[in-house]
């Protein structure tokens, strides 16, 4: 019996983003009219299949107040998750909020009420079967525990 491949699952495992960077970046760059930093975000991908899952593309985008404040760059090499295993990857995300968005983010963070939407997209293939997995509604709260069910980062 041949079993049809199952869609891989993934988590954004970052338990915390360096939100305090907002303030230090704001102070360092306010005279120049820009704020920005980069940070690695830990992702875990679970492959429930009996053959390897080849990851072709991973994209992450952080949105605050309807504005994109951070997005990932493309990763350069192919990445595989072995059958029945969880594979980990660190994706570099570049945060570049406007100064007004950074001030609002810091204000919300200070009140323990920072809400961001994380848009994620994963593309790859299991054998010859291509998959595109997206999640556009993941809400990331500074006060909430992240869903790290698949993560090895506990």
Mean pLDDT of the chain: 76
pTM of the model: 0.75
CB 153 within 8 A of CB 90: no
Give yes or no for residue 114 having a pLDDT over 90.
Answer: no
What pLDDT, in 10s, does the model give residues 77-105?
Answer: 678 889 888 888 888 888 888 888 888 88
d(CA 69, CA 62): 6
Q: Higher pLDDT residue, 14 or 111?
A: 111
The encoded tokens of residue 134 equal 């997206």
The pLDDT assigned to 30 comes to 63
């Amino acid at each position: 019996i041949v079993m049809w491949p199952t869609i891989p699952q993934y988590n954004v495992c970052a338990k915390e983003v360096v939100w305090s960077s907002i303030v230090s970046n704001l102070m360092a760059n306010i005279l120049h009219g820009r704020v920005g930093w980069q940070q690695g975000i830990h992702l875990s991908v679970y492959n429930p299949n009996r053959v390897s899952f080849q990851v072709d593309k991973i994209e992450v985008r952080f949105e605050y107040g309807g504005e994109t404040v951070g997005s990932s760059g493309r990763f350069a090499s192919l990445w595989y998750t072995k059958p029945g295993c969880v594979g980990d990857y660190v994706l570099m995300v570049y945060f570049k909020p406007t100064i007004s968005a950074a001030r609002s983010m810091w204000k919300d963070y200070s009140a323990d009420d920072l809400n961001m939407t994380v848009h994620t997209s994963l593309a790859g293939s299991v054998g010859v079967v291509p998959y595109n997995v997206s999640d556009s509604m993941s809400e990331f709260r500074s006060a909430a525990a992240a869903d790290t069910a698949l993560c090895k980062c506990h």
